[in-house]
Amino acid sequence: MGYIQKLRAKVGLMPVILVGCVGILLDREGRVLLQQRKERSRRWGLPGGLMELGESCEETLKREVYEETHLTVCDVRLFHVFSGEANHVIADNGDEFYAVTCAYVCDTYQGTPERDAEETLDLRFFDIDKLPDHMVGSQRRILKAYQECKAQG
Residue 152 maps to a domain: no
Residue 2 maps to a domain: no
Structurally, how many domains does the chain consist of?
A: 1
Residue 37 maps to a domain: yes
Residue 39 has pLDDT above 80, yes or no: no
Q: How many helices (DSSP H) and strands (DSSP E) are in the chain?
A: 3, 8
Structural domain of residue 105, as residue ranges?
A: 15-146
Q: How far is the C-alpha of 76 from the C-alpha of 106, rounded, in Å?
A: 5
Q: Please answer whether residues 108 and 74 qualify as being in contact, where contact means their C-beta atoms are separated by less than 8 angstroms.
A: yes
Residue 6 maps to a domain: no
Residue 86 maps to a domain: yes
Read off the pLDDT of residues 84-127 as tens digits, 9 standing for 90 and up.
999 998 887 888 999 999 999 998 999 999 988 888 999 999 99
**Would you call 4 helix, strand, or coil by DSSP?**
helix
Nearest-5° Cα angle at 27, 87 to 78: 40
Where residue 45 sits, what CATH number does that domain have?
A: 3.90.79.10
Strand partners, 75: 108
Residue 1 has pLDDT above 80, yes or no: no
Select the more confidently predicted residue: 124 or 8: 124
Binning pLDDT at 50, 70 and 90, where does residue 38 land? confident
